[in-house]
Amino acid sequence: MKRKSESNKLGARQRAKRTTAGRRKGPEGLPQINPNAAGIDVGSKQHHVCAPPAADGTANVKVFGTTTPQLPAIVGWLSEHQVTSVAMESTGVYWIPLLELLEAEGLEVILTDTRQRSRVPGRKTDMLDCQWIQLLHSCGLLAGCFRPEDAIGQVRALVRGKAVMVAERSDWIRRMQKALDQMNVRVHQAVSDIDGTTGMAIVRAIVGGERDAWKLAQLPDPRCRKSVAQIAEHLTGNWRDDHLFNLAQALKMYDSLEQHIAEYQGEIMRKVRQLPGKAEEGSAPAVSNKEKAKAFKKRGQEPMRQVLYAMSGADLTAIDGVGVETMEIVLSEYGATLHQFPTEKHFVSHLGLAPRQAISGGKPLHKKRKGGARRTRLGQALRTAATALKHSPSALGAYYRHISRSKGAYVAVLSTARKLATLIFRMLHHGQSYVDQGAALYEASYLKTRINRLQASAKQLGYQLVPQDSAA
C-alpha cells in the first residue's frame, strides 16, 4: 500500500508538470516591443509555429506539415492570431518556400542564426524552440540575417549554381592531369596551363589517337620559350589503354561542364538585363590595364562586364585584382548599392575581413577564435584576388608586399582583401572612382610617413633628425 501511494504521488507530480508545461510566464521587467510576433522552428517534415500566448499565459503552438498544399494553412493560422512579424530559423533550405509564401502575404519575416540560442538552458525540442523564438522576437532580441532583394536573390542562386559547375570542372582538370601523369606525359611541364588553349589542344590530340611526340610538340604556340625537342621529351609516354580511357572520359565530362557553364552564363546575363540599370549596356569605360583587357577578351568576359556595368553604373574591374567573376559575385550577393550597410566597416565586418581583437580586463587576448574566421563567398573571392596582387606593380601590390614583409603572408592577404572591400564599397555606395597611384608613388608616400613618424619621436625625446648629407 505504501508503494502504491508513493507511485500515485509521483504520477500526480508528472501530471502537474504536463499541465503546467504549456504555461509560460514572461520575464519580469522585459518589455515586449512587438507583441504580435510569431516564431517558427523549421524542419524537413514538420513546422512548429508559435503565435502570441493566450490571455492566461498558455503557449499557443501548432504543428503543420511542410508540403506545398499545407503551407497556406500556416498563413491562415497566423492571420487568425493577428501576427504581423515572424522569426524563423535558417535551417538548410527548408525555410525558403515558407518564407516566400509569408512575404507574399505581406508579413515581415526575419531569419535568425541557430547559434544565438545554442546555449539556452533546458532540454532542446522543436516545441520549446519555437516558443523561445517567439519570446525573444517579441522582445526584439533577435537579429535577422542579411538577405538581398528577391530579384538579386534570383541572380545569386544562378551565380552560386554556376560556381558549383566551375568547381567540378576544376576537379576534372585535375583528373585529366592525373591520367597524363600516370602515362608519364608531362603536359603541365611542356606548357604553362593544361586547361589553356595549347594544353587542351594537346589533350584533344592525344584522345583523338595521336601518339607521336614530335607531332604533339608542333601544337604549342610559336611564342613558347621551350624548343620542340624539349616539348617532345615531355610529351613522350607509355600510352596504356586504361589511362587513355580515363583521360577520354575526363575530357568528355570537362566538355559537358563547359556547356553547362555557358548555359548558366547566358541565363545570368538574361536575369541581370531584367534588373533596373544605372547605365546603358555597352557604355562601360575601356579597361586601362592592357593585360587585364586582353584576359577579358580571351575568356569572353567582356559582354558580361558590360552587362554588370549597366546594372551598377560602376566598373569594379578597374580595381587591381578584381575581375569579372569577382564583380559578378559582389553584385549577385549584395546588389548594386550596398544600402544595407551604413558604413564600410559594417560591410567589411559582414564579409569576415575585419580584424578581431578580443579584450578582457583592459588587456588584448591573443587567443584564436574557435572555428577560424568567418568565411563568406565574397570574402573568399577577395582573398583570392589579394593573393593575385603579390607581384602586381600597382599600389595595392606594393601594399601587399609591405604587409607581407612585416607581418607575414596570411595577414597580408587579409589586409589587402579588406582594402579591396573598402574600395568596392566606396565605388558602389559613394560613387567614388578608383585611380591607381602606382607602386613607386605608394613607396614614396610610405617612406614620407615613416620619416615624419621618426621626426616626431625624436622631437619628443629632445633630438633632431638630420639627413646624412647635411651631417657630413
When comparing pLDDT for 6 and 457, which is higher? 457
Residue 204: CA count within 13 A, CB half-sphere = 12
CATH code, residues 32-138: 3.30.420.10
Q: Please give the order of strands across the beta sheet that includes 46-51.
A: 60-65, 46-51, 37-41, 85-89, 108-112
Where is average pLDDT lowest: 109-113, 202-206, 416-420? 109-113
Overall average pLDDT of the 241-261 stretch: 95
pLDDT at residue 148, as a whole number: 87
Answer whether 32-138 and 152-274 agree in fold.
Answer: no
pLDDT at residue 17, as a whole number: 44
Overall average pLDDT of the 226-231 stretch: 81
CATH of 152-274, one of 1.10.10, 1.10.1740, 1.10.3720, 1.10.287: 1.10.287
Query: How far apart are alpha carbons 292 and 298 in whole angstroms?
Result: 10
pLDDT at residue 248, as a whole number: 95
When comparing pLDDT for 422 and 225, which is higher? 422
pLDDT at residue 436, as a whole number: 80
pLDDT at residue 190, as a whole number: 83
The mean predicted confidence, pLDDT, of the chain is 85
Overall average pLDDT of the 12-27 stretch: 45
Domain range summary for the chain, segments of one domain joined by +: 32-138, 152-274, 290-355+376-436
Helices (H), 275-323: 290-299, 302-312
For residue 51, which of 75, 29, 72 has the smallest C-alpha distance?
A: 75
Overall average pLDDT of the 245-264 stretch: 96
Position 290 pLDDT exceeds 50: yes
- Confidence label for 470 from pLDDT (cuts 50, 70 and 90): low
- What digits encode the pLDDT tens for the residues 326-369? 999 999 999 998 988 999 999 999 999 987 766 777 676 665 55
pLDDT at residue 278, as a whole number: 87
What are the start-end ranges of the E strands in 11-84? 37-41, 46-51, 60-65
pLDDT at residue 23, as a whole number: 42
Query: How far apart are alpha carbons 89 and 48 in whole angstroms?
Result: 11
Position 2 pLDDT exceeds 60: no
Position 50 pLDDT exceeds 70: yes
pTM: 0.80
Query: How far apart are alpha carbons 369 and 2 in whole angstroms?
Result: 57
- Confidence label for 125 from pLDDT (cuts 50, 70 and 90): confident
- What digits encode the pLDDT tens for the residues 25-46? 445 557 888 889 999 999 889 9
Q: State the cell numbers at 367.
A: 587567443
For residue 418, which of 329, 348, 342, 317 has the smallest C-alpha distance?
A: 348
Query: How far apart are alpha carbons 418 and 354 in whole angstroms?
Result: 7
